[in-house]
Amino acid sequence: MFGNKHFLILLMGLAICSQGIGIRRVPVEVYISEAGRRKFLDKGRSIEDIVGSVAEELEQKMNEHVYADRASTDKRKFHFDWSVSGMTSPEIDLDKCGKDTSRFQYDLVQAARDKPGASIILLYTCESEGYSEDFILAGQKTPLVIQRKYPECSNDVATFTETEPMKIESIIANALFITAGSPLNDMVEFEEVDNGRDGFKRDIRLKTTDFSLFSGGICH
């Protein structure tokens, strides 16, 4: 028979092992209108391709840091369970944008009610330039309207269908990083890295790797 002390040690060991082999799944619902889809298709790329490639690259970078962090016993991989669909709520029109970002905040609240248990990314068909002053005042480089929910393990984001490749990839990467629980904004950057004979390549860089901060360390 195990004593209480030995039983507790066994449970702690099992918990650490389960953290080592488990996966931190981040369910994300991306909503876009047909007009928004066409903007990307006209540039030769689908929104699914953009979200999928950025999510895969971001996962890889995050998980590299998870394994490299010697101070953390939680070695579970991050994985974005994402999907892209049209907006079904009659109260939300992704082709209409207001004079300021307050409309987006309202829509995020409504979308969260319609889809509890997942993080939401709303992609509006309008351009972000019309709201540049709002983001400057908020101290944000990336045009994201963010709705953080505590103690729930999900954050919601509203943003724009920018078609310039580096811009939309930066937007999607930062939005996904926030849906994973990041308490900080603008933590994902893209940079050019010397790839030797193959020239330069674009690479993701994380400005924070302390994932214990994500939603107080209680999520996923």
Domain boundaries, given as residue ranges, for the chain: 25-217
Q: Give residue-wise pLDDT tens across range 73-122.
A: 778 889 999 999 999 899 999 999 988 899 999 999 999 998 888 999 99
Fold of 25-217: Collagenase (Catalytic Domain) (3.40.390)
- Higher-pLDDT residue of 190, 143: 143
Nearest to 25 by CA among 81, 83, 84, 67: 81
- 113: exposed, middle or buried (C-beta count within 10 Å: 0-12, 13-18, 19+)? exposed
- 136: exposed, middle or buried (C-beta count within 10 Å: 0-12, 13-18, 19+)? exposed
Confidence grade of residue 11 (pLDDT, cut at 50, 70, 90)? very low
State pTM to two decimals.
0.84
Q: Give residue-wise pLDDT tens across range 31-40.
A: 999 999 999 9
